[in-house]
Amino acid sequence: MVIAHAATIPFTVVQELLEWSPTVIALEHTLPEVLLWGIKLDVVIGQQKNIDQHVQLLKDQVPVKILSHSEEEDPLQTALYFLIAGKYNAVNVLGVNRGTLELFTPKLDVVTFFENKRWSYARYGKFEKWLSKGTKISLPEKVKSVDGLNNSGVVLHDGIIKVMADSPFWIGEGIY
């Protein structure tokens, strides 16, 4: 899990994700809020010039990896390249627009929490998931077939919904 913007996500959503015991990566600008959550961080991505300050701030988080990036580099990209190099298959990203993550979808199964939705990337043009009746889904424009949703993208019955397309797509699920 990469925490890119902590203030955009309710902590209840974070707690649900933590139940899966993910590797937790925080970008340095999120540290003030994330440390208030009282969760264990595994990795912090920060600018090289701030490393000494982070070592002091994170002394209660040991063991924690602190990875640096230059001022010109994007810390989110540093986090995602770290996951790819570590052979991770999937990532939940908190507070980032899905378009920002396109570069990484060939290597990682990406889910991002943004705009009060859980956005999942269907790399192979197929999405299946059990959802509760009434859940609102944001569908891609070029869908080949949809099972379990009405014309407005609302789940008709508790159960598995299926969405198919001829190419990869993002699908949004209203969650909070």
112 and 170 Cβ atoms separated by less than 8 Å: no
Closest CA to 28 of 12, 61, 5, 10: 5
Report whether pLDDT(160) > 90: yes
- For 36-70, write each residue's pLDDT tens digit: 999 999 999 999 899 888 888 898 888 999 999 98
Identity of residue 129: K
Please give the CATH number for the structural domain made up of 1-114.
3.40.50.10240
80 class by beta-carbon count within 10 Å (0-12 exposed, 13-18 middle, 19+ buried): buried
pLDDT value of residue 54: 87
Report whether pLDDT(176) > 80: no
**b/e code 87-119 from CB counts within 10 Å (16+ = b):** eeeebbbbbbebebbeebeeebebbbbbeebbb
What's the pTM?
0.91
Q: Determine phi and psi for 164, rounding to 5 degrees.
A: -125, 145
- For 3-29, write each residue's pLDDT tens digit: 999 988 899 999 999 999 999 999 999
12 and 94 Cβ atoms separated by less than 8 Å: no
pLDDT value of residue 151: 85
Q: Could you tell me where the beta strands, DSSP code E, fall in the chain?
A: 2-3, 25-27, 43-47, 65-69, 90-94, 109-114, 117-122, 126-131, 137-138, 145-147, 159-164, 169-174
* Mean pLDDT computed over every residue of the chain: 93
Give residue limits of the domains in the chain: 1-114, 123-176
Find the DSSP H helices in 6-157. 11-18, 31-37, 51-57, 75-85
40 and 24 Cβ atoms separated by less than 8 Å: yes
Report whether pLDDT(154) > 90: yes
More confident residue, 101 or 174: 101
